């Protein structure tokens, strides 16, 4: 113990210098927008490379599980393809004026967390692959989050398991609109706010994306496991069990909304008037 005190005493000025250096950098980043953006982009690149190497090791020992997931997804896609072929009619009219709305880019999660209040995710795709800021991230059976920072090879995603996340959703049965939020407790349960008491929400109802946020309309999210209106309240308290388990999510899709720029531009103009 005496040697430990002697060590700290001997290098006290070094530790003091490092502490002040850290404080100075922190103040520069917090008080300067340009420096903060540079720091976030650089940290995305560096952390992405580190997480990528760690992820390769994990994947080596989890190839069997990945193959099972891919087989299940391929089976589901083949089922949808077979159904579309059966329902196609020779006289179907092709609408040449209809333009593609969403672009899906496959990606893999290389770092993820579910234990914090504000969880973040790193994926192995960036601007070189066509990822855009604020694009949504989904998987086949549920939603994952929003892209917040884009590097050339990697991107950071705000998980829906984040206190700052808010997704516009609806009850599939009757189209009642609300907001999906997370209270920071269970990673498989989320809450739906702002559905009025006349919205008629029932246990077992399916919650899907409304299409009013960046997520495509009608994408599955979860099932209602609790719905009640407290005395004197005008809105439901709703808990939804997610269809997907974010602690086991690996393969995802980044969804680029090809109409988002036009929609945002029109919204901005209407606000300014």
pLDDT in tens, 166-225: 999 999 999 999 999 999 999 999 999 999 999 999 999 999 999 998 898 999 999 999
Looking at the predicted structure, is the pLDDT value of residue 97 above 70? no
Sequence-separated (6 or more) residues with CB below 8 Å from residue 263: 257
pLDDT score at 84: 47
Would you state the pLDDT for residue 93?
44
- Top-confidence range, 19-33, 66-80, 229-243: 229-243
Please report the pLDDT score of residue 85 as a whole number.
Answer: 46
Instruction: Tell me what percent of the residues of the chain surpass a pLDDT of 90.
Output: 49
Whether 241 has a pLDDT exceeding 70, the answer reads: yes
The whole-number pLDDT of residue 188 equals: 96
| Cα–Cα distance measured from residue 206 to residue 170, given in angstroms and rounded to the nearest whole number | 9
Mean local confidence (pLDDT), 33-40: 60
Cβ proximity of 172 and 206 under 8 Å: yes
Q: Residue 265 pLDDT > 50, yes or no?
A: yes
- Comparing 98 with 7, which gets the higher pLDDT? 7
Q: Cα 42 to chain center, whole Å?
A: 21
Cα torsion angle, 195, 116, 204, 74, sign: positive
pLDDT (0 to 100) of residue 90: 43
Q: How far apart are CA 39 and CA 29, in angstroms?
A: 7
SS3 (DSSP) at 78: helix
* H-helix segments, 32-62: 33-61
Contact 167, 194 (CB under 8 A): no
- Per-residue pLDDT at 13: 74
Flag whether pLDDT at 243 surpasses 90: yes
Decide: 111 and 121 in contact? Cβ < 8 Å: yes
Residues in Cβ contact with 132 at an 8 Å cutoff, skipping those fewer than 6 apart = 147, 150, 256
Please report, rounded to a whole number, the percentage of residues in the chain having pLDDT higher than 70. 67
Q: Give residue 254's pLDDT.
A: 93
pLDDT at res. 121: 96
Average pLDDT, the chain: 81
For residue 16, name the pLDDT band (cuts at 50, 70, 90).
confident
pLDDT at 146 > cutoff 90: yes
Over the stretch 40-86, which tens digit does the pLDDT of each residue have? 566 666 666 666 666 666 666 666 666 666 655 665 555 445 444 44
* 246 DSSP assignment: T
């Amino acid at each position: 113990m005496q040697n430990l005190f002697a060590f700290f005493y001997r290098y006290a000025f070094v530790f003091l210098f490092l502490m002040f250096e850290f404080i100075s950098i922190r103040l520069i980043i917090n008080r300067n927008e340009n420096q903060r953006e540079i720091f976030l982009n650089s940290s995305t690149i560096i952390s992405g490379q580190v997480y990528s190497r760690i992820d390769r090791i994990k994947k080596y020992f989890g190839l069997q599980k990945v193959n099972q997931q891919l087989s299940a997804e391929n089976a589901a896609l083949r089922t949808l393809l077979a159904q579309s072929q059966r329902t196609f009619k020779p006289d179907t009219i092709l609408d040449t004026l209809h333009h593609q709305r969403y672009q899906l880019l496959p990606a893999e999660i290389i770092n993820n967390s579910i234990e914090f209040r504000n969880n973040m995710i790193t994926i192995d795709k960036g601007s070189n692959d066509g990822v855009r800021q604020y694009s949504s991230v989904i998987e086949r059976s549920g939603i994952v989050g929003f892209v917040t920072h884009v590097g050339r090879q990697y991107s950071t995603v705000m998980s829906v398991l984040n206190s700052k996340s808010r997704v516009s959703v609806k009850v599939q049965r009757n189209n009642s609109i609300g907001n999906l939020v997370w209270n920071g407790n269970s990673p498989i349960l989320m809450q739906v706010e702002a559905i009025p008491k006349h919205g008629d929400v029932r246990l077992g109802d399916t919650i899907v994306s409304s299409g009013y946020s960046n997520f495509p309309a009608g994408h599955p999210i979860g099932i209602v496991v609790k719905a009640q209106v407290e005395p004197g309240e005008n809105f439901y308290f709703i808990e939804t069990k997610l269809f997907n388990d974010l602690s086991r999510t690996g393969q995802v899709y980044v969804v680029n909304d090809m109409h988002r720029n036009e929609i945002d531009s029109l919204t901005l103009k209407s606000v300014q008037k």
